[in-house]
Structure 1
Amino acid sequence: MTIHPGLKWTADHIIAAMRHGTSSGMEYICRWKDRLADMLNDPDYASFWSDLRVYEQKANTENLPELSFSLYRQFRETGERQAYELAYFERRGRLAALGLLAAASPSAERLQLLEDLIWSVCNEQTWCLSAHVPEGKEAGARQHIDLFAAETAQTLSEMIVMLNDVLDPRVLRMMRAEIECRIFTPLYREQQTYGWENADHNWSAVCSGGCGIAALLLLEDEQLRAKAVQQTVHSMNAFLRGYGMDGGCAEGVGYWVYGFGFYTYFAEMLRIFSAGKLDMLSDPKTRAIAAFPENIHLSGGAFVNFSDSRERETIPPGLLSLLSERQQVQVNLEVRIPLLTEDPCRRWAHALRNILWSNPAVYKKESEAELPAAPVYLENLSWGIARGVLVTGEQKEMTAAFAVKGGHNAEPHNHNDLGHFILHGGGENILCDPGSGEYSQAYFEPGRESIFQIGSQGHSVPVIEGAGQQSGRQAEAKVLHIKRSSPQGIEAAFDLTSAYPEAPTLERFTRRLSWNCLPAASEAELFLEDYYQWQQPSDTCREEHLIEKPPVVEYFISRINPVIREALVQWEGNKAVVTMHYDADLWDAQVEELETVDHDHLSLKFYRAALSLRQTANKEGDSRNHSVKETWCRLKFFIHPK
């Protein structure tokens, strides 16, 4: 009988189930290399295999980058982590590429390259990233487990099973010994504790999932293996607690791929090794989680990307195919086989399962499926998403879409962006989210709000009396309502007052948004109303306000440089145009060009349109007339085909 993981399988139940399934499970993993060999000459995978052969050529001609102390020390001394990680992921890229090639088509030269590489990985001081080793704990870093230590253990354990008959026995013994020393002994035998074990975000799924798969494949003691499964399920339950019943991932679609991907990879391995008795995908919440990418896909491969997520993500087709089969979720996304080099972290787990699990039937669904007409409300996240279809002059169709978020400012990978919204047209987020910045020490430390991608200055929200939104759980978007207003329309209203505690005379701030896109219309419309209620300032506040600061500056973020005309701002995208109408008697418009760096350390340019509330000094020289108790900002946005 299938039991949901939340009910906590007993050790006896796990042992009994795995006695039925382990033998056939091992045979199933051994047959993976036959599947890889079958795909070697498939034209749909030609680019994938060519990409791997580039790594093989580098392994033949270029020395393997060293993970030197000079690279390791940079993070603690300067906060910089790029140099170490480039070397680390180059090593993992070669490992994954050579492992897949050797499984599909082993040769003496290829196996020798792989064995040398495995030997080098097994001799690394730590399998963790330098940024993930606690300060002062370098001596114990060999047994510290982070995301990438767990991924390395999973990679090597799957190679052991798949390549057991072709790898040198001494290399196999070395791999087993290192996984035992670095993973099994501290985590399962000594029961050392790790912060990720109870985390409600991607770390719990990735770390426990990678280690758990290694345990299923390599541990021979039934009792210890059952304990490992119980520990893994415990962490997976913690991961699921980070999701509400709406299935929404606060960290964004990129981290959905990472966290729920590894949840699924372990769940499927456990199901196979228990002869179907232990099925973690039978948990009812997992179907809603599986539908998340489809719920936030706008069009053309562009997603709602609140938090540290890219606007464009390639969802692993192997993962999509399995979830489509197991969870009966609709797939209306581009399904293609991505190159290993498209993944900055060169993940073996994704690459291998993209070959093993990708189902051509899902490719067909992509062209047959239609975007859902009804708006989506992810209640636990307080995200509202609506899509519609506009008719162009050539009788063609173009998708227009809108997304807005509530939530709070202590979410995983949080940005201070309550009330922030996206406007999308023709496959492009025109008013956009900046996504993730470059991960450095400062990116995760107090004061991170000064970073463009994190602070409210990098989002389409106001700065009030010189103050941006504050971090912390107390800064929360109180949902006044989010509701469907028409077949393709949605209305949302938030009280955002608690996000601006440093605005000295702000009494109340609410944001209301109303989106509508009528069937077969030529344009879609968004109406935005921001309402500010002010209190009488104290004498101290009055003195502070002698400094010239506009009471309100409304920001709007885009990668497109807008044009300002009389009472309107216009952003012209590749296929769609967004026009914002404002009251020029009350607001002054200007545009700033802002340069920053993205998650992959690449230069990025944004344009921030700003509407500043006009100020009129009173006879005391005060920068605002404090007899005014209320301020409104009412804006209309129109999206139409270019």
Structure 2
Amino acid sequence: MRKYILILLVMCGGVLSMQATESKDLLKKAVSKAELKDLLIRDQEWVPYPDYQDRAGWEALTADFKGELIHNGEEFLDYAWQVVELSDFLEYERSGNRNIMQDPFGANNNAMMALVLAELAEGKGRFLDQIMNGTWLACEMTTWVLSAHLPAYQTNKRSVPDPNEFTIDLTAGDLGSFYSWVYYFFKAEFDKVSPIIATRLRQNLQERILDVYMNRSDFWWQAFDLQPGGLVNNWNPWCNSNVLLTFLLLENDPDKLTDGVYRTLISADEFVNYTHEDGACEEGPSYWGHAAGKMYDYLDILYLATGGKVSIFDAPIIKNMGEYIARSYVGDGWVVNFADASARGGGEASVIYRYGKSVDSPLMRQFAAYLFERNEREHHIPRGRDIFRALESIRLAEGLEQTRAALPEFNHTWYPETEFCYLKNEAGFFFAAKGGYNNESHNHNDVGSFSLYYQNTPFFIDVGVGTYTRKTFSSERYDIWTMQSNYHNLPLINGVAQKNGREYRSKDVQFDPKQSSFSLDISGAYPEAAGVKTWRRTYELEADKLLIEDDFQLETAAEPNTLHFLTWSEPEITADGTVRLQRDGKTLILTYAAKQFKPEVEKIDVDDVRLTRVWGETVYRFSLVATKVEKRGRYRLAIGVE
């Protein structure tokens, strides 16, 4: 019955958010706690990789990658381990700079990853001293939590690490699973030097991860006490997948293992509950690998640890969550980006391939093969601190390499609950727009905004987000220009921009695949001060152009409305009612009624490295300022090929 209700809602154009908070509870329905205890494979017998001492096994597993792995590790044989000083933590409080602490911390963790994989591949002990050095240093650290995350979880509300209060964030979770693998693979080798090394590491993992996870329920990402309207984002599967691995690699008491694994299962269920049935990632492609991708890792680990007996890979929502990353790819490395997501990147080929294999999605497998051919053939193994992903990429490499590469083929993709719409045509246009509400994870005030690509080149853009600072996730977030609707492709109504908050949302959303059109009333995304009754924005993609229409009614008309557009290329006002945009040898023309608007162009100097890596040092805001102040009206624009 639920299927037919959803179809009816979509056909009528009304989209409810019921699916986002519906208690699907797929994991809890798949297995009870008592059943889980019987199904969990004991004593790490589920691990699909050879023991460290099994050199023949490692020779076979790493045959095609051994040289690369050893070379990467050799770069760190003389690595000078960096001390993260107290002042590095304090810098977040003093200036808002996170990187002062994160850079040396990350450098150490990256070194450890390369050293561990090199030693597993070579097996001669050359890298063990450095691995022990890095392990000892990690145990010496007061916390594995980032300076930016400590205040939310420590009683002192400071970025000063409290040695008496361990907490779990993204990085602490990563290092929990990372060092659990180190313990699993190298305990016997460490013991040959001194039993204290492995004993100390095991104690750290118990105190920092296992005990904390079992004794605390107040981490927001656990979602154990999720309130109506509460948010669950990538933190949930990211942390839970790491905690799950830590339990499975360390805990051999059947009751304690079952308690820990089942507790992660209850928490991870809330991420699937929160996610819309259509599977779209509201955080955007940049976060997919940490959101749906990490949820997949969680499910894959659980599948391995139960010999395939606990699985929800046949659930449509799980497949939808995976295929989102393929459908959001524009071409030439560009992706559809909303919110804090970047317009470039999104998803590792090996993760997408594994996911597609588990949910039986040829679309994902072929897309993964495309990314592998385009980006990763020379650097197949993921860098960073995720040993599980790295080893899985090696284990399944042959299947990926033998898969036919292909991009998804579609004219439209419609996510009815998340309210994302993608339209493509044979002329080379790729259009993307969104509805939704202004309290989504990594939210920007962007209800009704759109992006437009022509032959894989962005012309009308969503700039994304700059380098994270203290301000990014604070009450001052919407003081940042990239977060504001004025710097998205949206109207300024009566001089008033959109407002952040769950109540500020789209209304009467409609999608017509036959007409290649997407329309919605965005008036609800603006505060009362905008004085707007209705503002219906309609997009229609024709064979050679995109049509945009704004039909509005205002309660009051105090100031001229302004239509803002963010562009990558400099707008050239060439004649009355005509604007030319040129980029990469391609040209688009925007036309409008000259009598209705006065055009303005603002050059925006970009000096944030996170943005300059994508857009260079300049983007532009092109604005059409209405020549009349009126309570009712209609604006029509077209964007087409010259």
Structure 2 length-normalised TM: 0.85
Asked if residue 358 in structure 1 is aligned to residue 397 in structure 2, the reply is: yes
Q: Which residue of 1 aligns with 2:36?
A: 14
Asked if residue 485 in structure 1 is aligned to residue 514 in structure 2, the reply is: yes
Q: Secondary structure at the match of 2:299?
A: helix
Worse-superposed segment, 203-212 or 162-171: 162-171
Q: Which residue of 2 aligns with 1:607?
A: 620
**Partner Cα separation in structure 1 for residue 545 and residue 398 of structure 2:** 39
Q: Which residue of 2 aligns with 1:540?
A: none
Post-superposition CA distance 1:357-400 (Å, at most 9, x none):
3344466422xx3532331100111011012233xxxxxxxx32
Give the superposition deviation at 1:41: 6.1
| Pairing 1:41-60 to 2, within 5 Å after superposition | 42=64, 50=71, 52-53=72-73, 56-58=74-76, 60=78
**Partner Cα separation in structure 2 for residue 270 and residue 312 of structure 1:** 31
Give the superposition deviation at 1:571: 1.9
Q: Which residue of 2 aligns with 1:561?
A: 570
What letter matches 1:145 in structure 2? Answer: I
Q: Which residue of 1 aligns with 2:261?
A: 229
Question: Which of 624, 636, 639 is the equivalent residue of 1:637?
Answer: 639
Question: Which of 404, 411, 435 is the equivalent residue of 2:440?
Answer: 411
Give yes or no for contact 1:582–1:636 (8 Å, CA) kept in 2.
yes
* Cα distance change, pair 179–65 in 1 and its aligned pair in 2 (3 A): same
Give yes or no for contact 1:40–1:49 (8 Å, CA) kept in 2.
no
Give the superposition deviation at 1:612: 1.2
Q: Which residue of 2 aligns with 1:193?
A: 218
Identity of aligned residues (%): 21
**Partner Cα separation in structure 2 for residue 177 and residue 69 of structure 1:** 24
What letter matches 1:112 in structure 2? Answer: D
Q: Which residue of 2 aligns with 1:587?
A: 597
**Partner Cα separation in structure 2 for residue 5 and residue 196 of structure 1:** 17
Give yes or no for contact 2:592–2:638 (8 Å, CA) kept in 1.
yes
| Pairing 1:154-303 to 2, within 5 Å after superposition | 154-168=177-191, 169-188=195-214, 190-198=215-223, 200-303=232-335
**Partner Cα separation in structure 1 for residue 87 and residue 379 of structure 2:** 28
Give the superposition deviation at 1:266: 2.4
Worse-superposed segment, 240-249 or 162-171: 162-171
Post-superposition CA distance 1:571-594 (Å, at most 9, x none):
222253322111122212222111
Q: How many residues align?
A: 590
What letter matches 1:105 in structure 2? Answer: E
Give the superposition deviation at 1:146: 0.5
**Partner Cα separation in structure 2 for residue 48 and residue 274 of structure 1:** 30
Q: Secondary structure at the match of 1:162?
A: helix
Question: Which of 406, 428, 434 is the equivalent residue of 2:463?
Answer: 434
**Partner Cα separation in structure 1 for residue 168 and residue 97 of structure 2:** 21
What letter matches 1:562 in structure 2? Answer: P
Question: Which of 509, 513, 524 is the equivalent residue of 1:498?
Answer: 524
* Cα distance change, pair 427–359 in 1 and its aligned pair in 2 (3 A): farther
Question: Which of 371, 385, 402 is the equivalent residue of 2:408?
Answer: 371
Q: Which residue of 2 aligns with 1:24?
A: 45
* Cα distance change, pair 347–591 in 1 and its aligned pair in 2 (3 A): farther
* Cα distance change, pair 167–428 in 1 and its aligned pair in 2 (3 A): farther
Q: Which residue of 1 aligns with 2:541?
A: 515
Give the superposition deviation at 1:23: 5.3
* Cα distance change, pair 263–64 in 1 and its aligned pair in 2 (3 A): same
* Cα distance change, pair 47–469 in 1 and its aligned pair in 2 (3 A): farther
* Cα distance change, pair 551–79 in 1 and its aligned pair in 2 (3 A): same
Q: CA RMSD in A?
A: 2.8
Worse-superposed segment, 212-221 or 27-36: 27-36
**Partner Cα separation in structure 2 for residue 38 and residue 575 of structure 1:** 49
Q: Which residue of 1 aligns with 2:356?
A: 324
Q: Secondary structure at the match of 1:93?
A: helix
Question: Which of 557, 571, 580 is the equivalent residue of 1:570?
Answer: 580
**Partner Cα separation in structure 1 for residue 55 and residue 608 of structure 2:** 37
**Partner Cα separation in structure 2 for residue 309 and residue 36 of structure 1:** 38
Q: Which residue of 2 aligns with 1:528?
A: 548
Give the superposition deviation at 1:503: 4.1
**Partner Cα separation in structure 2 for residue 164 and residue 27 of structure 1:** 18
**Partner Cα separation in structure 1 for residue 55 and residue 295 of structure 2:** 23
Q: Secondary structure at the match of 1:30?
A: coil
**Partner Cα separation in structure 1 for residue 31 and residue 70 of structure 2:** 41
**Partner Cα separation in structure 2 for residue 320 and residue 33 of structure 1:** 29
Post-superposition CA distance 1:517-576 (Å, at most 9, x none):
3xxxxxx31100112323346xxxxxxx5xxxx511111112222222112222222253
Asked if residue 467 in structure 1 is aligned to residue 496 in structure 2, the reply is: yes
Give the superposition deviation at 1:207: 0.9
Q: Secondary structure at the match of 1:607?
A: strand
Q: Secondary structure at the match of 2:513?
A: strand
**Partner Cα separation in structure 1 for residue 99 and residue 420 of structure 2:** 33
Q: Which residue of 2 aligns with 1:393?
A: none
Question: Which of 132, 148, 171 is the equivalent residue of 1:115?
Answer: 132
Give yes or no for contact 1:75–1:441 (8 Å, CA) kept in 2.
yes
Post-superposition CA distance 1:414-473 (Å, at most 9, x none):
000111111112222221111122211111122322212211122111112221110001
**Partner Cα separation in structure 2 for residue 324 and residue 506 of structure 1:** 45
What letter matches 1:160 in structure 2? Answer: Y
**Partner Cα separation in structure 2 for residue 123 and residue 340 of structure 1:** 33
Worse-superposed segment, 191-200 or 79-88: 191-200
Structure 1 unpaired stretches of 5+ = 391-398, 518-523, 538-544, 616-623
Give the superposition deviation at 1:49: 6.1
**Partner Cα separation in structure 2 for residue 262 and residue 536 of structure 1:** 48
Question: Which of 97, 107, 110 is the equivalent residue of 1:90?
Answer: 107
| Pairing 1:101-112 to 2, within 5 Å after superposition | 101-112=118-129
* Cα distance change, pair 472–597 in 1 and its aligned pair in 2 (3 A): farther
Post-superposition CA distance 1:200-243 (Å, at most 9, x none):
21111111110111101110111111111111111111111221
Post-superposition CA distance 1:134-157 (Å, at most 9, x none):
262542575100111111011111
* Cα distance change, pair 370–85 in 1 and its aligned pair in 2 (3 A): closer
Give the superposition deviation at 1:322: 1.0
Structure 1 length-normalised TM: 0.85
Give the superposition deviation at 1:498: 1.7
* Cα distance change, pair 614–282 in 1 and its aligned pair in 2 (3 A): same
Give the superposition deviation at 1:508: 2.3
Give the superposition deviation at 1:280: 3.9
**Partner Cα separation in structure 1 for residue 354 and residue 381 of structure 2:** 21
Worse-superposed segment, 259-268 or 134-143: 134-143
Give the superposition deviation at 1:159: 2.3
Give yes or no for contact 2:382–2:390 (8 Å, CA) kept in 1.
no
* Cα distance change, pair 458–338 in 1 and its aligned pair in 2 (3 A): farther
What letter matches 2:475 in structure 1? Answer: P
What letter matches 1:11 in structure 2? Answer: K
Q: Secondary structure at the match of 2:88?
A: helix
What letter matches 2:636 in structure 1? Answer: R
Structure 2 unpaired stretches of 5+ = 1-24, 224-230
Give the superposition deviation at 1:166: 3.4
**Partner Cα separation in structure 1 for residue 381 and residue 48 of structure 2:** 31
